[in-house]
Structure formats: structure tokens, C-alpha cells
Amino acid sequence: MPNPSRPRAAALTTSAVLMAALLAGCGGGSGHGDLTKQKLQWKDCPAPSEAEGGGPSPSPLPGGAKWSCATMLAPLDWAKPKGDTIGIALIRAKADGPAKDRIGSLVFNFGGPGGSGVTTLPAFGEDYAALRTRYDLVSFDPRGVGRSAPVLCESDSQLDTFFQQDATPENTAEQKQLIARTEKFNDACEQRSKKILPHVRTTDAARDMDLMRQVLGDAKLHYFGISYGTELGGVYAHLFPKHVGRAVFDAVVDPTQTPEQGALSQARGFQLALDNFAEDCTSKVEDCPLGDTADDVKNRIAKLLKDLEKKPIPGIYPRQLTQTAATNGIAQSLYSKDFWEYLTEGLEQAYDGDGRVLMLLSDSMNGRSENGEYSNITPANIAINCSDEKPRYTPAYIQSKLPDFRGASPVFGDYLAWGMAGCTDWAVPGAADHPDVHAPGSAPILVVGNTGDPATPYEGARAMVDALGKGVAVELTYKGQGHGAYDSKNKCVQKAVNDYLLTGRTPKPNTVCT
């Protein structure tokens, strides 16, 4: 499963809008001037493209402020800055405080990799109202994502099949099927997106952000990175330490881990979140509808998944809820404690032979809209990860590691272990074992870790602090549940983050919010 950004609204889009996005994303050409001098043409935002997830144009903020969109030209290949260009889609809501108090732009990346910032920022814009008093709120579709030269692979119907496949093979024949299906997907990516595939590394996106800083007119990059956005922010700080302004990393990726270590860490993280869900359900005054004890709840979930491998149940017609889709749906519901009630409902229904709720949750994870169209979050996620990550794992190697993964999580272990096969035959070589985020000389970076985070476990925050280097990071701990801390609405976390971004005052090192 990817490290997704927030759940996205799913709705209709049109092929004409998607075609316009593709033309804008891959047009460009050579012979341009200094891209740092370009003037952005801010206009009313169009409806999101299919690759961005579809839906209506973003609604105005409370008070009537409108969102504006623009396209920034960036080099297709940063090694050839005078060569072909691509368009990077941006969105902005201007600061609403006194002009004299404006600090600059605050650039958001909500993670994935592969999440569309152009659609996500408006969906959560109200959450950042306090920050808009002194900043223009800005986000973007990173290269390969949404409107920014999107990576495209298989058709919607083919993706339905891709997401229904058996992702936890139990014998050689099933392993061969999984690898063949993965190769088919990867081949489609190379055929449809050959031009952009070599140029979607995190280092490329970080260079885009520095160009964005200059085009927006800011001397420093003020930044709010969430999930994978913390890795992108760390790489930016490594490449441009003197350009870092006020920066916050929330839901922190461990930059020191290999893909295998990261997958194993996620297995532990999702299992911890499932443990917490089961404890919460059985500790309430009313009876837990899923079991009498936490172990009972987890055992029934494990049995459900095993049963679904042999015999799927009806999901959203005509699709059935497979073991893979159910595992994906359960994982999606663990990203926020607010989703636990949907997990309870989905499991209750699944025990009665109805897989619709779990399939809806799985569709949300995969970027599938109600009309069957997919955003490009999965193709982009795979393309960026496989371009970044040097290791390539064979089926035999994964098989040898299954005991470790099963020990970390009897529910998610096999699923995450076999997910490591996704890059094995990827067309573009991976860059490194893990990203380099060492950033001596950077301005302070506030690093926020959540003890109950399933996707980016809490230990990653301390690893990021150490990797950034002495004197760079200030760590803040939130003892809570879900992926990320700021949007949990915890007042202690929000005050610490807002104080830093608005005044430059960092909290005391190792502050703990509960």
C-alpha cells in the first residue's frame, strides 16, 4: 500500500479536461529563457482532471476568498535546464491579513507520493485558516502527479483487475501470477509515460520547489510537509539548506530506512493501529459488535481475510471483495481514528456477506471514483518510489523474509512484504538505498511525530531529527492516533506549529502533546 495523502473526494470528470491537463503537462519545448523570471498567470481553478481525482472546482473559503490556479514551467530534465519543459500545476489562496504582516508563501505537500496538492489543499483549507493570516497558502501537483505531466499506466478497467489480484501468494503458481501481473502494469507505465518516467525522482521535485520559491518571489521556502512530504522537505533541505525558511514536518518518514526496512516498519505500525482499534472497541461501555476481547476482534479479522482468499463476497457490483481489497480497506480506515466507526460497520457487514463498505474504503485508498475512474495516485506512487529506491527484491528474497513480516503483523505482513516486488523490473534504475536529508546550516525545522501513526511510525521522527543533523530539527511528540498530528485538531500540536510558522518561535525541544 502506498503512503497516501489524505482521502480524496471522488466525482465525475470529463475526457476533455483530462486531455487539456495532459497537453499542459507535456507541452513545452526548448529555447525558453530564464525560468526563474517567468510570471505566473493566476486564474480561476478548473474542475480537477481525472488524474487529480475529478470533482467540482474548489469552493471558496469561509469569507468568500477564492482559490486561484496557475502553471509553472520547469525543466523536464534538471540535468538539461535549457531543454524541454513540463508544466507544474499550482493552487493558491492569498493571505487575508494586513499586507505588512505577510511573511510570504507557505508551500504544502500532503504526501503519497502521488497525492494531488491542487485538490487536497482546498479540501483542508479551513484547517489552515490561522496560517493564512500571514501566508499565501500554496500547493502543487508534483511532477508525475495530477496535472503535472502525470504518469499514466493502465486503463480504468485494467486497474480494477490490478487491485483485485491476489497480493499474498501462497505457492509458486500464485507467485508467478503476481509477478506477471506486476510486469504487465510496469510495461504499461513505460509505454504510456516513457518521457516522464526518468524524471520523477524526489530530487527532481525538490528542485521544482526551489524554482517555485523563486517564481513566487520568496527569499526562503516556508514549507509544511506531511507524510512523504517530510521526505521531500528533507531532500530539499539537503540540496538547499540556505534556502529553508520556517518548515514543519508532520507524520514523518524515516529517511534512514531501505524500502525493506520501511515496509517492515509499516507492518508494525498498521498492526499497532489495529491493536489500538480492537482495544478501543472492546473497552467501551456498550458491547463491541466485533468481539468480546481485543484478541477476539483481531482473530475474527484474520479469519475473514483467510476466508476471502478462498471465496470473495459481493462488494460494489460487479466487483467482489477479495482478500486484497479487504486488507486495503482495513488499512485505509486506520489512517484516522475518525474512520474507526466505518471499519466497525464494514467488518460487521462483511461478516454477514456484504463487502460494500470495505470496498469503498479500498477504493478511497486507490483513488477510484464512484464512476470507476481512477486518479493517477497509484501510477505516480509506484513511479516515484521505484525511481528513488535502488534495491530490487526478487520473489525468492521476499519469500525468505516472510517470517519477519508475519512476526511484525499477522494481518498486514504478507501484504506489505509482497508489495516490495513492485519495482523489481521497473524501467528506470533506482537512485539510492534511502534519501539523503543531511542539512547543515538549515534554519530550524519542526519535526512532529505521532505515537499511534500507522503509516509513518513514530520512530521515524527521531530518525529524521538525527539525519537532518545537529542543531537543525526541533522534535515535538503527539500521543495520539492516526496518520499525522496537526489535523487531529489537538490544540497543543496546532498551537506549537502555528506559533513557529507565524512567529518563528519553536517549542521547547522534546515537547509532548497529549
Q: Where are the alpha helices (DSSP H) in 284-433?
A: 294-310, 323-333, 340-351, 356-366, 377-388, 395-408, 413-418
Q: Is there a catalytic annotation at residue 433?
A: no
- Which of these is catalytic: 139, 227, 362, 442? 227
* Amino acid letter, residue 128: Y
Task: Determine the 3-state secondary structure of 368 from DSSP.
Answer: strand
Q: Give 383-416 as a DSSP string.
A: HHHHHHB-----HHHHHHHHHHHHHH-TTTHHHH
Nearest to 177 by CA among 361, 395, 7: 395
Long-range contacts of residues 469-472, Cβ cutoff 8 Å, at least 24 apart: 469/438, 469/439, 469/440, 469/442, 470/440, 472/237, 472/439, 472/440, 472/442, 472/444, 472/445
Catalytic residue among 222, 243, 434, 483: 483
Residue 68 · residue 45 · CB < 8 Å: yes
Establish whether 453 is a catalytic residue. yes
The reply to whether 96 belongs to the active site is no
Among 434, 453, 487, 488, the one annotated catalytic: 453
Query: Which amino acid type is present at position 261?
Result: Q
SS3 at position 24: helix
Distance CA 72, CA 267 (A): 38
Q: How far is CA 76 from CA 46, 73, 106, 162, in A?
A: 24, 9, 24, 29
Residues 6+ apart with CB under 8 A from 131: 106, 137, 224, 498, 501, 502
For residue 320, give the H/E element and its range.
strand 320-321
Which contiguous run of DSSP H or E holds residue 461? helix 459-468
Residue that is written with C-alpha cell 497516501 in the block: 4
Catalytic residue set: 227, 453, 483
